[in-house]
Amino acid sequence: MKTLNTSVSLIEKEDIPGLHFLKDDVLEDPGERLKRRWELNRAARLGNTYHGKVEITFRTADGTDKRVETTVWTVDDKFVTLKAGCAIPLRAIVDVEFF
């Protein structure tokens, strides 16, 4: 089960390149990792087809959870690339919400 920190701040995607991320995956359960991957691939299809946005919650190296509302362009084995051209390591993503 995903565990979010109590306060999650919303940031701009342009602030992401200045952040540092953990080396270990924030999700321990292989099933949750698979679900995260499926949700991110779905978000990329939504972003490329309809320019739809999602809200991604991720954890930084200092253990702080942050959220960004964005369009996902691509997903590979290690990173998610967002509309602004910045990337978030897959291992740092805690949750993906569609709206």
pLDDT tens digits, 12-33: 999 999 999 999 999 999 999 9
**Do the domain assignments include residue 31?**
yes
- The residue-averaged pLDDT of 32-41 equals 98
Task: Categorize the per-residue pLDDT at 1 as very low, low, confident or very high, splitting at 50, 70 and 90.
Answer: very low
User: What pLDDT is stored for residue 36 in this prediction?
Assistant: 98
Q: Provide the strand spans (E) within 31-83.
A: 54-59, 65-70, 72-75, 79-82
**Do the domain assignments include residue 19?**
yes
Number of structural domains, the chain? 1
Instruction: Read off the CATH number of the domain in which 40 is found.
Output: 2.30.30
Give how far Cα 29 sits from Cα of 19, 36, 55, 65, 94, Å: 25, 11, 21, 18, 12
Domain assignment of residue 19, given as a range:
9-98
**Do the domain assignments include residue 93?**
yes
Q: What is the pLDDT of residues 39-71, one digit of tens each?
A: 999 999 999 999 999 999 999 999 999 999 999
Q: What is the pLDDT of residues 74-98, one digit of tens each?
A: 999 999 999 888 999 999 999 999 9
**Do the domain assignments include residue 3?**
no
